[in-house]
Amino acid sequence: MVREGKIGYTQAALINEYKDELLFHEFFHVFQYAGKEPALNRSDELEAYLAQYFYASSREYSAWVIDKKFTERIMELASYIDASTGYLRKGVDYEEFYNVYTSALDYLDGHPNYSGDGWTSGRVEAGLYPFQKLAKLLNQNL
């Protein structure tokens, strides 16, 4: 049985200038779990924020997520990724990418909305690519 999800936004979120980005982020979670039970997983959140960032950038929106420090981490992480495929750009140093990835996860771990009971890191092992759903979405023939 699929657990009922929860979107923690107030009604104000639906009228703010970032509502398209917020809705895209939540719909990306639906895509990530595809009928499976949702989990409190920081790596999945990070992937959803990356998807949100690429969506916002493609629409020439501001691509602001959580706060300035986290937005900077997302922008740095996105600089390693080809926005048309979701995979790492050619020539990217995987170790550098992985360090930025783990730094962003650590940042979320310290954020009150992404820590506490039930939250897990979801960190992939070094050598693996953590954003498979993003790549899958970007490589669909729509």
- In this predicted model, what pLDDT tens digit does every residue of 98-138 receive, in sequence order? 999 999 999 999 999 899 899 999 999 998 999 999 999 99
Judge whether 3 lies within some domain: no
Judge whether 94 lies within some domain: yes
Give the residue-averaged pLDDT of 21-36: 90
pLDDT of 2: 36
pLDDT of 9: 55
Give the residue-averaged pLDDT of 92-102: 96
Distances (CA, A) of 131 to 3, 44, 72, 121, 136: 23, 8, 18, 14, 9
Judge whether 29 lies within some domain: yes
* pLDDT(4) > 80: no
Residue 104: which domain range?
Answer: 11-138
Judge whether 60 lies within some domain: yes
Give the residue-averaged pLDDT of 87-104: 96
| Residue 42: other Cβ atoms inside 10 A | 21
Judge whether 50 lies within some domain: yes
Cα 61 to chain centroid distance, Å, stands at 17
pLDDT of 61: 73
Judge whether 118 lies within some domain: yes
% of the chain with per-residue pLDDT over 70: 83
Query: How many residues are recorded in the chain?
Result: 142
**Least confident window among 8-12, 25-29, 62-66, 105-109:** 8-12
pLDDT of 102: 96
Q: How many domains does the chain have?
A: 1
Judge whether 6 lies within some domain: no
